[in-house]
Amino acid sequence: MDVISIDKTNEHFRLLFDIKGRYQPHKIQAFESNFKLLKVVKSATGPNKIPYIITHDSRTIRFPNPEIKINDTVKYNITTGEVEGFFKFEQGAPVMINGG
């Protein structure tokens, strides 16, 4: 779900897996290149009782929404560094399986 932007051609791509597990660039609009989807792998409380979450790409986000749990997906704004929304990991939700 990484975003690649080419400034000279003003093109933006999101790297996605194809059905064989290879990375494929998918062309996106400029406004879509401002966010990234992140999987929460750890949720804890730090010093001075400050809650934080850690995502699959090792980002630490302090003061998350209390409803965000492990395995949920957060919509992270790259430019502001804030969580715009989150999606619960629950039964019946659409998912992408990348191994196993």
Q: Is residue 14 part of a domain?
A: yes
Q: What is the CATH number of the domain that holds 27?
A: 2.40.50.740
Domain that holds residue 32: 3-87
User: How do residues 55-96 score in pLDDT, each as one tens digit?
Assistant: 999 999 999 999 999 999 999 999 999 999 999 988 888 776
Q: Is residue 100 part of a domain?
A: no
Q: Is residue 62 part of a domain?
A: yes
User: How do residues 20-36 score in pLDDT, each as one tens digit?
Assistant: 878 899 999 999 999 99
Q: Is residue 97 part of a domain?
A: no
Confidence of residue 100 (pLDDT cuts 50, 70, 90): low
Q: Please tell me the total count of domains within the chain.
A: 1
DSSP conformation letters of 45-88: E-GGG-EEEEETT--EEES--TT--TT-EEEEETTT--EEEEE-
pTM (2 d.p.): 0.80
Q: Is residue 94 part of a domain?
A: no
DSSP conformation letters of 15-55: EEE-TTS-EEEEEE-TGGGGEEEEEEEEEEE-GGG-EEEEE
